[in-house]
Structure formats: structure tokens, C-alpha cells
Amino acid sequence: MPSTPRPARTSYHHGALREALLDGARELLAEGGADSFSLSALARRLGVSTAAPYRHFADKDALVDELCGEGYREFGRALTQAASSTTDARERLDALGVAYLRFAREHPAVFGIMFTDRGPAVLASGVPTFEVLVDAVVAAQDAGALPPGADPRVLARTVWATLHGLAVLGRRGGFTKLAIDDDEARLVADALALLTR
């Protein structure tokens, strides 16, 4: 569901091919996963030639990188919103954790692409997202829920790693096989209970 309605293809020129490519790519990604996504299938769906995308993106990786950037921005918004949902510093960590796992569940293909080996440009996009966690850790330290003497970036790294591990391992039923497949809220609560005090 594109945010802006695509104008119907009236003539030789598409008119808004760049946006249509990104919209269509998101749809294909959501439908068939990262593997089944091809530039050819995308062009076919949009009714343009297979060479047309190359007027708007240098190659397939450039389009995927753009999708990753969008993903990071939306991920950051979801985390920021979760962080502002409560004034309690300890509860805020839980809210961030649940938002982290929910994003991974609701956008599995984009999440998978965001965290598989992509260029350094994509990695840099992830830093602002991380800062939300650092801020929450500092607040939790002030509230006495995390060791006050420790480097907040080191603490945030550990919290981030834990949440990310839960998201990745839980994504495709990694915990189901172990008969310890709880819902997201409990997954996060159990993990953060061990990390905080």
C-alpha cells in the first residue's frame, strides 16, 4: 500500500518510477522474502522494461540499500515512540525491547536485510537507532536499575545484543523447537530481569 497513489501509466514515460520501484520492492519483499526478490520481477510487475530501474538506481544493491535506510528510519521511529510511552526508566527498557521484537516480527524481510552484510553506509544509518537505547540506559542508571558506575555505551551494547539475539533467534521459531517459545513481552521481561536489578 503506497502512501501516494501511483498515477496510471498513460504514455511512454512512467512518471514516478523511482517511488513505484521502492513501493513495489517493499511489496515483493513482504510477499516472498529476501531471496525471491528480483529486479526483473519488479520491473515486470510495474510494466516497465528490465532496464528501466537502472535510470533510478545504480544497481540492485543501491535499491536495497535505500530500503534498508527507510527501514532504519522507521525502526528508529518505533523505538523512539516506545521510549516516550512511559516516564518510568525501568519500564522504558521493557517498552524498547518489545518494540524491537515487534518490528522484527512485523517487518521480517526488511529486518533481515537491515542486519545482513550490507555496505558501511547502511551500518552508519543504524547509529541513531542505537542512541535511543543509550539514552534509556542512562535514565535507568539514574533510576538505580542499572549499575551507575558503568559506561552507558557498554551497557547499551549488552542490552542491544540481548534484544537483537532474541529478535533473530525468535524470528523463525528458533525457540519453538526448544519448547521455550514465549510471547514477546515475556521474552523481553525474562531477559531484562536478568540484566537489571
Residue numbers of the site for DNA (CB under 7 A)? 12-15, 17, 37-41, 44, 47-52, 54-56, 59-61
38 near its own copies, rule: CB under 8 A: no
Distances (CA, A) of 69 to 20, 66, 117: 17, 5, 14
Rule CB under 8 A: say whether 166 interacts with its own copies: yes
Sole binder of its own copies in the list 3, 98, 158, 184 (CB under 8 A): 158
Residue whose grid cell is 517498552? 95
- At position 168, the amino acid (one-letter code) is V
Q: How far apart are CA 8 and CA 66, in angstroms?
A: 24
Task: Please give the residues from 43 up to 102 whose contact with its own copies meets the rule CB under 8 A.
Answer: none
CB nearer to DNA: give 54 or 130.
54
20 or 125: whose CB is closer to its own copies?
125
Query: Is residue 136 within 8 Å of 89, Cβ to Cβ?
Result: yes
Does 164 participate in binding its own copies (rule CB under 8 A)? yes
Please write down the HEC assignment for all residues of 83-109. HCCCCCHHHHHHHHHHHHHHHHHHCHH
Q: How far is the CB of 5 from its own copies (least distance, A)?
A: 33
What CA–CA distance (Å, rounded) separates 67 from 90? 33
Contact positions vs its own copies (CB under 8 A): 33, 112, 115-117, 120, 123-124, 126-127, 130, 146-147, 151, 153-155, 157-158, 160-166, 168-169, 171-175, 177-180, 187, 190-191, 194-195
